[in-house]
Structure 1
Amino acid sequence: MDIEILYVDQCPNSDEAGVRVKEALAEVGLVDVAVSYRLLATDDEAAAVPFAGSPTILIDGVDAFPDADRVTDLACRVYPTEDGLKGYPTVDQLAAAIRRRV
């Protein structure tokens, strides 16, 4: 399994998203899976990948939450959670997304 977090400098949530991804991986018993980060610095870079705002979490190259619209600009992303919109998904949401890909 390959997990990559696409992010832009202007949005502050990529580090917390990574922490939550690692917690979710541990929850599903995949502690050896590495999480990588890719900084998107231009609109062209954003357009070349399945980017739906920062942070976008890809599992094997596919958005973990594919219902979001793709964007081609350097935008921030929000995730619907049980506590309202947040800049990153919950650990439970991430664990469910990982389980769907295993």
Structure 2
Amino acid sequence: MRIEILTIDGCPNGSAAERAVRHALSELGLETEPAVRVIRTPAEAAATAFAGSPTVLVDGVDAVPGSAPIQDLACRVYRTADGPSGHPSAEMLVPALRAALGS
């Protein structure tokens, strides 16, 4: 399983997204190391499933569906149980991780 966190320079939510990914992995007993990739140009964004910073990909697929890929170097807003957030919660990421495991 490949987990990638796509972010832009100066994103205030990149590290929070990484913490959420690590928490979700820990919850499932997985030792996979997430990769962090900084998107620097609109062309880089267009070549990925980047849907705003941060975007978490599991095997190349957006872990939190519902946002279309964009080419802008922009922030992303997630709808969480606690209201809008600049990063996904661990609870939002667990289903995508489980699906990638086939469970």
Under a length normalisation based on structure 2, what TM-score does the superposition of the two structures give?
0.93
- Aligned-pair distance for 1:94? 1.1
- Aligned-pair distance for 1:39? 0.5
Distance in 2 (CA, whole Å) between partners of 1:4 and 1:10 is: 17
Structure 2 gap ranges (5+): none
Moved over 3 A (4+): none
- Who is 2:74 aligned against? 75
Map 1:1-102 onto structure 2 (within 5 A): 1-30=1-30, 32-102=31-101
Asked if 1 retains the 8 angstrom alpha-carbon contact of 2:5 and 2:35, the reply is: yes
Distance in 1 (CA, whole Å) between partners of 2:74 and 2:11 is: 8
Distance in 1 (CA, whole Å) between partners of 2:10 and 2:46 is: 17
Q: How many residues align?
A: 101
Letter in 1 for 2:86: G
Letter in 2 for 1:39: V
Distance in 1 (CA, whole Å) between partners of 2:91 and 2:40 is: 30
- Aligned-pair distance for 1:24? 0.3
Report the identity percentage: 50
SS of aligned partner of 1:37: strand
- Aligned-pair distance for 1:10? 3.6
Letter in 1 for 2:22: K
Under a length normalisation based on structure 1, what TM-score does the superposition of the two structures give?
0.94
The alignment's C-alpha RMSD in Å is 0.9
Distance in 2 (CA, whole Å) between partners of 1:98 and 1:86 is: 20
- Aligned-pair distance for 1:92? 1.0
Asked if 1 retains the 8 angstrom alpha-carbon contact of 2:5 and 2:55, the reply is: yes
